[in-house]
Amino acid sequence: MTRIDATFARLRSEGKKAFVSYIMAGDPDVDASLAVMKGLPGAGVDIIELGLPFTDPMADGSTIQLAGQRALEQGMTLDRTLQMVRDFRVGNDSTPIVLMGYYNPIYSRGVDTFLAQAKEAGIDGLIIVDLPPEEDEELCLPAQAAGLNFIRLATPTTDDARLPRVLQNTSGFVYYVSITGITGAAAAQAVDVGPEVARIKAGTDLPVIVGFGIRTPETAREIASVADGCVVGSAIVGEIAKGRPTAEILAFVEGLASGAHSA
């Protein structure tokens, strides 16, 4: 059982939905990013998605693209991202960390080497958005053999013919993208999301977490009420981009988490 599995088991026993937050590793710099990361569990975050900066983030909107650029300009690398995870683990051995990014840096490192380093650092799962199920032998299956969850995205365009393939080797949870398009592009609507979550859950026992388009505690509560939890990324990254103090960023996160947990 991974930390992700254990977290969902705990939440089920408490009758709570999950709140997942995304931040970009190294944005606006390593120290500030790590300070926010260390504060997220205390602000109510159940699972941390940590973005791996990449030069061509094709699934991300401008907010997260700019965060990646800021991190890269500060010299953020895969090695420094893994070190950030190690530094976090010094004080927290229970909160799951999911590394979210693209395959190129992993391929360049070498899959076996990367997986060994990720596991040693304390990463629990991967979301690699540019590897489709047809490429499961590249990373998905080796990752799961190494003890890491491989989390797949389903979208509004994932039809009934495609969905079983998407779910086949997914573990940890399913990430449902609530809108078509890039991150931060539109507002999620529970009336649209609910039936899609039900359709996914008919094909898997995994939790279904909904992301994209969630910016307020109210929306977090509405979306979590029709799923097993929600993810907020662009809204949090936007607060970081404004240069707000860590305490203000975490207070913003706490409001979102409270919304999700009240569902």
Query: Which among 61, 45, 25, 54 is positioned nearest to 234, based on CA atoms?
Result: 61
**CA separation, residue 207 to residues 126, 136, 201, 230 (Å):** 16, 21, 8, 11
**Tokens at residue 83, please?**
């070190």
Q: Among 5, 60, 124, 228, which one carries the catalytic annotation? A: 60
Query: Which among 258, 259, 155, 233 is positioned nearest to 197, based on CA atoms?
Result: 155
SS3 (DSSP) at 230? strand
* Beta-bridge mates of residue 177: 211
Q: Among 5, 46, 49, 254, which one carries the catalytic annotation? A: 49
Cα(190)–Cα(222) distance, integer angstroms = 6
Cα(141)–Cα(168) distance, integer angstroms = 11
Confirm if 68 and 51 have CB atoms less than 8 A apart.
yes
Tokens 């927290």 — which residue? 92
Q: Is 60 an active-site residue?
A: yes
Residue type, 90: V
Q: Is 124 an active-site residue?
A: no
Burial tier of 87 (Cβ tally within 10 Å: 0-12, 13-18, 19+):
middle
What is the set of active-site residues? Answer: 49, 60
